[in-house]
Amino acid sequence: MSRSRRTAVSAVLTALACLLVPFGTLAVWAVHGLGHTGRYVTTVAPLASEPAVRDAVADTVGDDLAQASGMDRDLVRDAVRSFTGTPAFRAAWDAANTAAHTAVLRALRTDDERAATLDLASVTAPLRDRLAADHVPFADRFPVEHREVVLVPPDELPALRKGYHVLDIASYWLPAAAVLFAVTGIAVAACRRRALTATALGTALGGAFLALAVAIGRHLTLTDLPDPSHRAVTAAVYDTLTSPLRTTSWLLLTLGLTTAATTWLTTHVPLRRPHPPTPPIPTAPPPEPTRVHA
């Protein structure tokens, strides 16, 4: 293969590898981050301490309880808001997210045509047990009702299943293809050092593109929300869920720029080599004394 053809093939493979970096990262985040129950619950656990989330829970739950009990709405809201600062609320938050995520994931991975639902008893029962363990008065009388809440309607499941299946495949093949293209592009390049620099810069560009996409997605998500309270809650949820993406984008950017700078420095900055020691100048042997013959 001629030198020009090797350069062209290397350029195409490098471009493909760098193009797949942000899309592969998104697929891995969606399937192995959001699609994993344990990681998802761990990611959203800090939201239980967010003021905007606590206020939203207090307003929503407080209004429902006030309407059901006939008590003063502001009084009930204050009581619920106070409860959101307790360990029992954080335990209930984790239990609710675990149950909801498990139900949605089961609906996406099976062919069940029924809607993805959440049984409130799976949340209220652990909450009652936690309150009883904390010796809260009348906690054992806390009602546990088996009430189904629809999380995903049945008419939306086919499209969501197809999307999840595509992401599941992409989460494995896109990163593998990116690595394969990058390694092959460097291997066939006429100048491998230049190909390595181009791959590093492309990786950094992919990280920057990913960070920009996350920022644009945040702006578009919040723009369509007219209610300021909903906007604050949505911003907190969006920032929490996309935190791994932002971290990964900065890692890609830093790694790419560092590798490119290192390659450039080793090419253009000559290394100072120590001069070999100067051999000693041989000195002439002293003249032998002249013998005087008698």
Nearest 5°: phi and psi at 2? Answer: -70, 165
Low-confidence ranges of the chain (pLDDT < 70): 1, 62, 64-66, 68-71, 76, 122-128, 130-132, 134-146, 268-294
Nearest 5°: phi and psi at 115? Answer: -70, 150
Give the list of residues 6+ apart from residue 210 with CB closer than 8 angstroms, or none: 21, 22, 25, 26, 245, 248, 249, 252
Predicted local distance difference test score (pLDDT) of residue 123: 66
The reported pTM is 0.80
Q: Is residue 88 within 8 Å of residue 123, measured between CB atoms?
A: no
Predicted local distance difference test score (pLDDT) of residue 251: 95
Sign of CA dihedral 152, 244, 14, 184: negative
Spatial distance between the Cα atoms of 33 and 42, rounded to a whole number of angstroms? 10
Give the list of residues 6+ apart from residue 100 with CB closer than 8 angstroms, or none: 118, 151
Residue range 52-89, pLDDT digits in tens: 888 887 787 767 666 765 667 777 678 778 878 888 78
Residue whose tokens read 């050092």: 193
Predicted local distance difference test score (pLDDT) of residue 284: 56
Q: Is residue 132 within 8 Å of residue 139, measured between CB atoms?
A: yes
Provide the token pair at 215.
Answer: 């920022």
Reduced to 3 DSSP states, what percent helix, strand and coil does the chain have, rounded to the nearest 5? 75, 5, 20
Predicted local distance difference test score (pLDDT) of residue 142: 60
Domains of the chain by residue range:
3-266
Spatial distance between the Cα atoms of 57 and 91, rounded to a whole number of angstroms? 14
Residue whose tokens read 């959001």: 34
